Amino acid sequence: MPARSANHIGHPKPLDEKLTINIGCVDLGQIDLLVQEGFYANRTDLIRTAIRNQLSKHQAVVRQVVTRNTLVLGIQHYSAADLKAVKAAGEMLQIRVLGLASIDADVTPALALATIESLTVLGALHASPAVKAALRERTAGA
């Protein structure tokens, strides 16, 4: 399947995704206390640590689901050249990623529709708004 790592030359490391959460005042106060006492550098440090601890705790389940659902774990990058090769071969892709799926900005909606049969991304999808709109009906959860 034509796909390159996002660490390929010319593809910068993806930025972290921003999340917004609501948290109770008491919990927030306890977080601030731990930061004040030097256990964590800041609120974000504590929250990232807590998330990593929970993900580590459930790592076996994650691995089982990744295997069962044949997901690619990590970063999958698709260029226009990759998709043109798929089209020339008369094939269609079933993209299934846990992490980041990245589709180059020069990929047209028509090329995406001609080459991507289905798209499942648990994490982040980086693609142009036009390609995202074109693939909406082929995206899991659409």
Q: What is the pLDDT of residue 16?
A: 82
The Cα 142–Cα 128 span in angstroms is 17
pTM of the model: 0.69
Q: What is the pLDDT of residue 142?
A: 46
Q: What is the pLDDT of residue 103?
A: 96
Tell me whether residue 60 is exposed, middle or buried, using C-beta atoms within 10 angstroms of its C-beta: 0 to 12, 13 to 18, 19 or more: exposed
The Cα 36–Cα 46 span in angstroms is 12
Residues of the chain falling short of pLDDT 50: 1-9, 142
- Domain-by-domain residue ranges, the chain? 25-57, 61-138
Backbone φ and ψ for 23, nearest 5 degrees, come out as: -140, 140
The Cα 89–Cα 87 span in angstroms is 5
Q: In what order do the strands lie in the sheet with 116-126?
A: 72-78, 93-103, 116-126
- Nearest Cα neighbor of 123 from 98, 95, 103 is 98
Q: What is the pLDDT of residue 72?
A: 87
